[in-house]
Amino acid sequence: MSYGDKPWLKSYDEGVNPEVEIADISLVDRFDEVLELFPERPAIHFFGRTLTYQSLMGHANRFARALIENGCRPGDIVGINLPNIPQYLIAQIGVLKAGCAASGLSPLLAPGEMAYQLNDCKAKALVTLDAIFQHRLLGISGELPHLKFVVATGILDFLPKIKQLLAKILKKVPTGRVTPLPEKRVVRFMDILVHYSDQRPGVTVKPGDNCLIQYTGGTTGVPKGTELTHANLVANMSQVNEWTRPEMGKETGLSGFPFFHLAGLMLGLLAVAAGGAQVLIPDPRDTRHIVKEMARYKPTMLINVPSLYLMLLEEPGFRKLDFSCLKFCISGAAPFPVDRIRELEGVIGTGKVIEVYGMTETSPIVTMNPIKGKKKIGTVGLPIQSTRVKLVDLEIGIREVPVGEEGEIIVRGPQVMKGYLNKPEETQVTIKELEGEPWLYTGDVARMDEEGYFTIVDRTKDMLIVGGFKVFSREVEEKLHDHPAIELCAIIGVPNPKRPGSELVKLVVQLDPAYQGKNREDVKEEIRLFAKKNMSPYKVPKIIEFMEKLPLTPVGKVDKKALRQG
């Protein structure tokens, strides 16, 4: 059996075809269809305020017209530097209606990181929070020669004035002053919604046009702008929609994934494309608010990183909710310990957790567990329709590895990116020809079983070499997570001074609260004994350190780059 035989097809849910029909349209065309079908259907729920599709698309048209009037032309790039608030989706859809491409920036970026991304993509316009405007953008404004139009907004601008005033008095949300900037036009977001027409601008948008310049690679190197087209996103939407079978105009989604991360944005756009409602969560750390919103809107779909599901399990109100309306919970972007999946399903219902795998370069979904059929907990499921996947050797990336062995994931499909913006050398390293066809080399290591289910083992950059043996950090982390002292952990390699070219396995641990008062040396010995009993000697951590809190990326992954630098 080979990967070319697509053994995963026999594990597909009934009715899911090996190839998916993909319409030759842009995202703007898809949104127009949804507006025609569901003009009065709720599109956004935000702190008790609801926007219909008529309102959402009308506001997006106004934003598009503002961009055009202020010099943005088809193909230009617009930065969106916001949390998950209505203004993000309005701006995102408006950018596409203007024929431009959007580039999401994390609100947590430092000023220098903001400047790098805006200059790298030559962003002509930027939408940002008033607090970021005052405390970060002001200081770097002179370093941004391409930026000509800045739109500022507040987190609560869409809420009634009394709620905004109360939040400011209680200092619950950050705010900032918006002032003129030399050689740039500055306006307030809400003024745009008053002064521009809600009629769609007459811009032609084609499937092959760029719609997103999504930055990736920040945890392992200099961030790169991934060029994703309307066709890429429409393809992945078509694949995921056929896989999950949402009821058009009837679903309600809730996600803590930030829109500046492609997984969050894609799921937000998927909800729009299906005419569904979505509950916006600006602060995923506020689990009490999330539980309150779940109780109010009864979502049919949840989409989060594992760390947020774990936080919700610690929130008392979560376990008291009625989950009868919930169809499934998608989990991705980081490992989810098997025992915690079972704990979550004990609350929401057996078989409702759907683990997935994807990356920015693939728009993003590559594999999913079946919705109705066999789910293999701990795997990321099966390659979705119209997607070819192989595992190749880790040395030169040419030889297919046998079923059951570890190899690098390579992918072909309609969701694969065009390339990295203005970085042809980086593109050639990632998209390489194999047997006359271009394949995306993901840098992720996995193995496939006889039924076509894939299990992620590691990132190639996170793989350690210990005495000539390969150590996959994710595999070690998942096993160590079974020890009751470990709430969260990460494996990194440090040079072995006695053996050049070899590494020592270092374990960094965030202790479970029940172990906080115990002697640290005793806990280290417990973990070492557990490791020796459950894994090969070369995988056993030689160095164990404790941290009060492991550093996380804005998406909720353990930030191994920060650990290595620390």
Instruction: Render pLDDT for 139-158 as a digit per residue (tens, 0 to 9).
Output: 999 999 999 999 999 998 99
Architecture, CATH, for domain 27-205:
3-Layer(aba) Sandwich (3.40)
Per-residue pLDDT band at 305 (split at 50, 70, 90): confident
**Average of per-residue pLDDT across 492-507:** 84
Burial of 438 (0-12, 13-18, 19+ CB in 10 A): exposed
Distances (CA, A) of 25 to 75, 207, 208, 271, 414: 17, 5, 9, 17, 14
**Average of per-residue pLDDT across 111-131:** 96
Q: Is residue 483 predicted with pLDDT exceeding 80?
A: yes
Distances (CA, A) of 503 to 351, 406, 450, 559, 565: 40, 20, 33, 19, 16
Task: Classify each residue of 285-294 as buried b or exposed e, where b means 16 or more C-beta atoms within 10 Å of its C-beta.
Answer: eebeebbebb
Q: 274 near 251, Cβ under 8 Å?
A: yes
Residue 79 identity: G
Query: Residue 128, CB half-sphere, CA atoms under 13 Å: how many?
Result: 29
SS3 state at 410: strand
Q: Is residue 254 predicted with pLDDT exceeding 50?
A: yes
Q: Is residue 70 predicted with pLDDT exceeding 60?
A: yes
**Average of per-residue pLDDT across 85-106:** 97
pLDDT value at position 219?
A: 36
Per-residue pLDDT band at 218 (split at 50, 70, 90): very low
pLDDT value at position 500?
A: 64
**Average of per-residue pLDDT across 283-289:** 92
In angstroms, rounded to a whole number, what is the distance separating the alpha carbons of residues 80 and 77? Answer: 10
**Average of per-residue pLDDT across 502-521:** 92
Q: Is residue 509 predicted with pLDDT exceeding 70?
A: yes
Whether 463-565 and 27-205 are alike in CATH topology: the answer is no
pLDDT in tens, 367-389: 999 999 999 999 999 999 999 99
In angstroms, rounded to a whole number, what is the distance separating the alpha carbons of residues 235 and 389? Answer: 16
Task: List, in sequence order, every beta strand (DSSP E) within 23-176.
Answer: 42-46, 49-52, 77-81, 101-104, 125-129, 149-153
Decide the pairing of beta strands 353-358 and 328-331. parallel
Share the mean pLDDT of the chain: 92
Return the C-alpha torsion angle 169, 171, 172, 177, nearest 10: 100
Q: Is residue 171 predicted with pLDDT exceeding 80?
A: no
Kind and range of the H or E run holding 115: helix 111-120
Q: 235 near 228, Cβ under 8 Å?
A: no
pLDDT value at position 163?
A: 65
In angstroms, rounded to a whole number, what is the distance separating the alpha carbons of residues 279 and 254? Answer: 5
Identify the CA nearest to 256 among candidates 332, 188, 158: 332
Q: 269 near 237, Cβ under 8 Å?
A: yes
Q: 267 near 317, Cβ under 8 Å?
A: no
pTM: 0.86
Per-residue pLDDT band at 159 (split at 50, 70, 90): confident
Distances (CA, A) of 234 to 228, 229, 264, 331, 561: 10, 9, 16, 21, 33
The CATH code of domain 463-565 reads 3.30.300.30
Q: Could you tell me the two tokens for 447?
A: 């193995």
Domain 1-11+249-459: CATH superfamily is: ANL, N-terminal domain (3.40.50.12780)
pLDDT value at position 442?
A: 94
Residue 245 identity: R
pLDDT in tens, 322-363: 999 999 999 988 778 888 899 999 999 999 999 999 999 999
Q: Is residue 170 predicted with pLDDT exceeding 80?
A: no
pLDDT value at position 552?
A: 85
pLDDT value at position 168?
A: 59
Going from N- to C-terminal start, the domains of the chain cover 1-11+249-459, 27-205, 463-565
CB contact set of 396 (below 8 Å; sequence gap of 6+)? none
pLDDT value at position 220?
A: 43
Neighbours of 360 (CB within 10 A): 20
Identify the CA nearest to 49 among candidates 217, 161, 166: 161
Query: What percent of the chain is predicted at pLDDT more than 70?
Result: 96
Distances (CA, A) of 496 to 235, 465, 505, 507, 538: 46, 10, 9, 15, 13
Q: Could you tell me the two tokens for 139?
A: 């200081």
